[in-house]
Structure 1
Amino acid sequence: MTPTPKTVLYIRVSTAEQTSEHQLAQAREAGFHIEDQHVIADHGVSGVSTQLKERDQGRRLYDLLQPGDTLLVRWVDRLGRDYEDVKQVIETFNKRGVAVCTVINGMRFEADYKLSDPTQKASRNAILGFMAALAEADATAKKEARRAGIAHAKASADAARKYRGKKPSFDRQTFDAVQSMLEKKAHTVSAIARETNLSRQAVLRIRDEPEAAEAALERWGM
């Protein structure tokens, strides 16, 4: 008896916003009928560095899907790391008689055995190449945006540190202790330096420029 063709939804969840429940609901709202047992999800997997066949659940698809079945994904970028990877995965399933469909835009890459006309195959392959290239471009843009964000954060942090000036060699408690000993006039600068483990220059700064020393502590939150 020939098994009834099934639709298998593959979900790759890489962020907190991309829950498997959300992607399943989105697929059903788009009109796809999916049984709960036919939802395959990989969690915390990077699509940039890990091929589908190397993912824990992604490997199951190669055994689970049979000719006549449909592999459903939110978008083609769920299936691979880059243009060549996505293209190879879809072509592999198409040759096995499995159609690949996307929830977004309802793109469908039909199985080879259903495309007897060479023109149909050429059209499918052209669309596949275009969609996969878009996925790769999007992934590259996101990667560059992350790099730019990191660079901006580092630059801002460096600027903030430069604006605050050099970090004081003394904390608030030591600053107060030095001021107290200076007021009593019972210790020399060298003696105060030895007592507080500060340099003579630091003690002199607290003595001669107390407002500047106080401001430095405030800038550094000390």
Structure 2
Amino acid sequence: MRRIYYGRVSALDRQTAASQYADADEQGIKHSDVFIDEGVGGYHVSPSERPQWQHVERGLRKGSVLVIRWLDRISRRYDELHETMQRLMKKGVRVECTLNGMVLDGQEADPTRKAVRDAILAFIAAQGEADYRYRRENQAQGIAAARQAGKYKGRKPAVDYAEVRAYHAEHGGSVRALAEHFGVGVATISRALNSDDTSSK
């Protein structure tokens, strides 16, 4: 039975990659089975666009165990998290969360327990996205108030968002391919493509 640890750290996360490596060590998972995506947001970058997650999903088979700190390491979006977890459940993967010991077992055969498992999963996925949106809204309000008071200048993006969108409109390509072309992270490209800004200022 293979046990794989997956972690994800974005620039905005309070946790560090080191804390998740330590978490994997505490679970007795060997380093070759630890995969952590760094500098990747859980809302703007889908699991399919993350190189380490791709290694994880390819390595999971029936009877495998996926160990994560919490489900938001996979995604903060309801649809993405729900679909990904259902895919893992159908594979027969057991998912263990180290934060609170919660287990979601893809090999559960009892229909009532499966229904409870899926209901809990759906609730957690929905609550995770709602919490993220609420925090972002509060952050945006705080920044707007600081700007109005002349106390917030913001941080200059690593790439010109308009240039990214123009290049994508002309050449296409995946988020990962664009990130490699511009020499930035996939999270930066995702923000650029989803931004309404006309410049990087």
Same fold (TM over 0.5): yes
Q: Equivalent residues in 2 for 1:13-52 (5 A)?
A: 13-15=9-11, 17-29=14-26, 32-52=27-47
Counterpart of 1:142? 135
- SS of 1:71's equivalent in the other structure is strand
Counterpart of 1:69? 64
Counterpart of 2:124? 131
CA deviations 1:17-51 (Å, max 9, x no partner) are: 4222211323544xx22111111011111111111
**Preserved CA contact (<8 Å) 2:76 2:128:** no
CA deviations 1:170-205 (Å, max 9, x no partner) are: xxxxxxxxxxxxxxxxxxxxxxxxxxxxxxxxxxxx
Counterpart of 1:210? none
Counterpart of 1:9? 5
Letter in 1 for 2:19: H
Letter in 2 for 1:10: Y
Rounded to whole Å, the distance in 2 between the matches of 1:75 and 1:119 is 24
Residue of structure 1 aligned with 2:78, choices 69, 75, 83 = 83
Structure having greater relative contact order (Cα 8 Å, sep ≥ 6): 2
Q: TM-score scaled by structure 1?
A: 0.63
**Preserved CA contact (<8 Å) 1:83 1:135:** yes
- SS of 2:51's equivalent in the other structure is coil
- SS of 2:63's equivalent in the other structure is coil
Rounded to whole Å, the distance in 1 between the matches of 2:127 and 2:28 is 27
Deviation at 1:128, TM superposition (A): 0.6
Q: Check if 1:55 corresponds to 2:50.
A: yes
Q: Check if 1:157 corresponds to 2:157.
A: no
- SS of 1:130's equivalent in the other structure is helix
**Structure 1 or 2: larger helix share?**
1
Letter in 2 for 1:152: A
Deviation at 1:96, TM superposition (A): 0.8
Query: Is there any run of 5+ residues in structure 1 with no aligned partner, and where?
Result: 159-222
- SS of 2:4's equivalent in the other structure is strand
| Residue correspondences, number | 150
Counterpart of 1:220? none
Letter in 2 for 1:9: Y
Q: Check if 1:119 corresponds to 2:112.
A: yes
Letter in 1 for 2:99: I
CA deviations 1:49-87 (Å, max 9, x no partner) are: 111111111111221112111111111111124112111
Counterpart of 2:95? 100
**Preserved CA contact (<8 Å) 1:50 1:81:** no
- SS of 1:120's equivalent in the other structure is helix
